[in-house]
Amino acid sequence: MSHQHFETLAIHAGQEPDAATGAVVPPIYQVSTYKQDGVGGLRGGYEYSRSANPTRSALEENLAALEGGRRGLAFASGLAAEDCLLRTLLVPGDHVVIPDDAYGGTFRLFAKVAERWGVKWSVADTSDPSAVRAALTDRTKVVWVETPSNPLLGITDIEQVAAVARGVGARLVVDNTFASPYLQQPLALGADIVVHSTTKYMGGHSDVVGGALVTSDAALGEELAFHQNAMGAIAGPFDSWLVMRGVKTLAVRMDRHSANAERVAEMLVGHPKVSSVAYPGLPGHPGHEIAAKQMKAFGGMVSFRLAAGEEAAVEVCNRTELFTLGESLGGVESLIEHPGRMTHASVVGSALEVPGDLVRLSVGIESVDDLLEDLRTALG
Ligand SMILES: *Cc1c(COP(=O)(O)O)cnc(C)c1O
C-alpha cells in the first residue's frame, strides 16, 4: 500500500527505530510475557509471545509490505505455515488441487496428513489452466500453485489460474519460495494467499528455518492470525530477527542469483554430457514467455539431466567442490543435490516422481567464473 519501492521497503517496512532506545534495527525481544499496567492494561497490545512478539510483529509487517499484502504472519517453518493455512481454509470433505510437481513436503502434507482428516486432493499440471479446470470438483476450496516449481522449474500463469479458481469460488494459494517477492508478486496477479519457506531466499544465509503467509484479504488475515495463535507454530524472536536481517539484502542477492544462474544454464545447455536444462530464463523453456511476463528475472534455481543416466547424475553431485552437496536452497552459497534420492525421495512412486538423471542446483552469489569451473570439472 506504500508508494515506496521494494528495495526501500525491504529495509524500512516495520523497521522503525526502537521506541525505547532508538536501536536502528528491531531488537530481539527474547521474552515470553509482558507486564500489564493493571489487569488487561497491555502495552502496545503485547500479552504473551505466542499471540504476538515485537520482533515477530516487525517481520510480519515487513513481509506484508514486500508482497503488497495487508497481513503477514511468520511461522516456525514453511510447512507450519502451510499446515495453518490448510486447517484455516478446509474442513473434511473439501477438495484441493495441487501441482504435479509440488515441493515434496507439501505433497506429503496433503497425501499423508490432511487426507487422514478427510481432505480430498488431486494433482494437475498447473502450467496448463485447462488441466486445473478439469481437476476442479464441486468441493474445491483451494488451488495450490508453485511457480517456478521444485525441482523441474515449471511455470504457471498466475493470472490465468487465479481466474479459473475464482470461477468456482476457490482460493488461489501461490508458494512464492523460489521466486521471492522481489521477482514475483502473486497477490497483484490475483492470488489470495502467498506461502513462503523463509528458510530459503528470504532468510538467504542457510541459518534459519521459517515460514510465512501473506494475504491482502483483511478478514482472511484475521482468521489466519486466530489459527496461528490457536495452533501455536510461531516463528521465535531470534528466528524472526534472522529472517528480517536476510530480507534487507533480498533485492541485491536475487539480482546476483539470477545473473549467475543464467550463466550456469547457458554453459550447461552447450555441454555434451547434459541432455536437457530446466531454467525459465532460457528461450526454449516452455514457460519462458509467461515467466518473462510475471517475473522480474528468472531466479537462482537450475535443474539439468545427465545424458548417461542416474548414476552419472549422482556422480556429478559427489564431485563438485564449490557447490556443496546438500538439501535446501536460496542461500548465498551454491548447493547441489539429487532430487530423486534427496529432497524428493518422499514422492517416489507417486504422480510427482522426478527423473533419476536429474540434478538440481541452487546457484549462489559467489564468482560465477568459479562456479562454472567447478561444474565443468565435475561433469568431466
Ligand atoms: C523448503 C520448501 C517448503 C517447506 O519449507 P520448510 O521451511 O522447509 O518447512 C515449501 N515450499 C517450497 C517450494 C520449499 O522449497
Dist. CA 202 → ligand 1 center (Å)? 12
Ligand 1 proximity of 6 Cβ (cutoff 6 Å): no
Range of the domain at 281: 251-379
Give yes or no for a contact between 100 and 124, defined as CB atoms under 8 angstroms apart: yes
Q: Phi and psi at residue 63, in whole multiples of 5°?
A: -60, -40
H helical segments located in 279-352: 288-294, 310-319
Q: Is residue 333 part of a domain?
A: yes
Catalytic residue among 103, 182, 201, 279: 103
3-state secondary structure of 48: strand
| Contacts for 190-195: CB closer than 8 Å, 24+ residues apart | 190/158, 190/159, 190/162, 190/163, 190/166, 191/145, 191/158, 191/162, 192/165, 192/217, 192/220, 193/85, 193/220, 194/67, 194/69, 195/78, 195/81, 195/82, 195/85
The x, y and z cell numbers of residue 265, run together, are 544454464
Q: Coil, helix or strand for 119?
A: coil
> DSSP labels for 204-272?
-SS----EEEEES-HHHHHHHHHHHHHH--BPPHHHHHHHHHHHTTHHHHHHHHHHHHHHHHHHHHT-T
Which of 197, 219, 247 terminates a domain? The answer is 247
Any domain includes 362: yes
CB atoms within 10 A of CB 293: 13
One domain, residues 233 and 258: no
Task: Establish whether 103 is a catalytic residue.
Answer: yes
Is 51 within a domain?
A: yes
CATH code for the domain in which residue 318 is found: 3.90.1150.10
The phi and psi torsions of 237 (rounded to 5 degrees) equal -60, -45
Cis status, amide bond into 92, omega within 30 of 0? no
Residues 208 and 363: their CA atoms lie apart, in Å, by: 19
What amino acid is encoded at 157 in this protein? D
Q: Are residues 83 and 126 in the same domain?
A: yes
Report the relative pairing of strands 274-278 and 301-306 from DSSP bridges.
antiparallel
Evaluate the omega torsion of the peptide bond into residue 148 and state whether it is cis, within 30 degrees of 0.
yes
Helix axes 368-379, 310-319, angle to 10 degrees: 130
Separation of alpha carbons 77 and 195, rounded Å: 11
The predicted pLDDT at position 39 comes to 93
Cα 365 to middle of ligand 1, angstroms:
21
State whether 206 and 284 are in the same domain.
no
How many A from CA of 50 to the centre of ligand 1? Answer: 22
Examine the residue annotation and report whether 175 is marked as an active-site residue of this protein: yes
- Along the 380 residues of the chain, how does pLDDT read in single tens digits? 468 999 999 999 999 998 889 999 999 999 999 999 999 899 989 999 999 999 999 999 999 999 999 999 999 999 999 999 999 999 999 999 999 988 889 999 999 999 999 999 999 999 999 999 999 999 999 999 999 998 899 999 999 999 999 999 999 999 999 999 999 999 999 999 999 999 999 999 999 999 999 999 999 999 999 999 999 999 999 999 999 999 999 999 999 999 999 999 999 999 999 999 999 999 999 999 999 999 999 999 999 999 999 999 999 999 999 999 999 999 999 999 999 999 888 777 877 788 999 999 999 999 999 999 999 999 99
pLDDT number for residue 380: 92
Say if residue 231 is in the same domain as residue 111.
yes
Write down which residue in 231, 247, 263 finishes a domain. 247
Quote the pLDDT of residue 352: 75
Nearest Cα residue to atom 1 of ligand 1: 197
Are residue 17 and residue 105 in the same domain, yes or no?
Answer: yes
Å from CA of 147 to ligand 1 middle: 13
Q: Is 106 in the pocket of ligand 1 (CB under 6 A)?
A: yes
Residues 230 and 307 in one domain: no
Q: ∠ CA 304-354-296 to the nearest 5 degrees?
A: 55
85, 147, 150: which to mutate for ligand 1, most atoms within 8 A of CB?
150
d(CA 265, CA 287): 15
C-alpha cell at 92: 473434511
Tell me how far apart the alpha carbons of residues 77 and 283 are, in angstroms, rounded to a whole number.
34
Q: Is 296 a catalytic residue?
A: no
Same domain, 230 and 353: no
Q: Is 319 part of a structural domain of the chain?
A: yes
**pLDDT at position 346:** 74
185 lines ligand 1 (CB under 6 A): no
The domain that holds 200 is classified in CATH as 3.40.640.10
The answer to whether position 365 is within a domain reads yes
77 lines ligand 1 (CB under 6 A): yes
| Cβ–ligand 1 contact at 79 (below 6 Å) | yes
Using N-to-C axis directions, what is the helix angle for 218-231 and 78-89, rounded to 10°? 110
From residue 318, alpha-carbon distances to 31, 44, 324, 339 in Å are 44, 53, 9, 13
One domain for residues 359 and 241? no
- 82 C-alpha vs ligand 1 centroid, how far in Å? 9
Q: What residue type is assigned to position 20 of the chain?
A: A
Number of domains in the chain: 2
Amino acid at 40: G
Contact (Cβ atoms closer than 8 angstroms) between residue 72 and residue 211: no
Q: Is the CB of 105 under 6 A from ligand 1?
A: yes
Compute the distance from residue 38 Cα to the ligand 1 centre, in Å.
43
Could you write out the DSSP letters of every residue in 127-172?
Answer: TSHHHHHHH--TTEEEEEEESS-TTT-----HHHHHHHHHHTTPEE
Same domain, yes or no: 293 and 312? yes
Dist. CA 178 → ligand 1 center (Å): 9
Confirm or reject: Cβ of 103 under 6 Å from ligand 1.
Answer: yes
**1 domain residue, yes or no:** no
Catalytic pick from 175, 239, 357, 374?
175
Residue 130 falls inside a structural domain = yes
The residue whose CA is least distant from atom 7 of ligand 1 is 78
Residues 82 and 137 in one domain: yes
Which of 77, 177, 180, 354, when mutated, tests ligand 1's pocket best, judged by the most ligand atoms within 8 Å of its CB? Answer: 177
pLDDT in tens, 38-74: 998 999 899 999 999 999 999 999 999 999 999 999 9
Task: Tell me: do 216 and 259 sit in the same domain.
Answer: no
Catalytic-residue membership of 200: yes
Last residue of a domain, which of 191, 219, 247?
247
| 148-180 as b/e: b if 16+ CB within 10 A | bbbbbbbbbbbbbbbebbeeeebbbbbbbbbbb
- Whether residues 133 and 279 fall in one domain: no
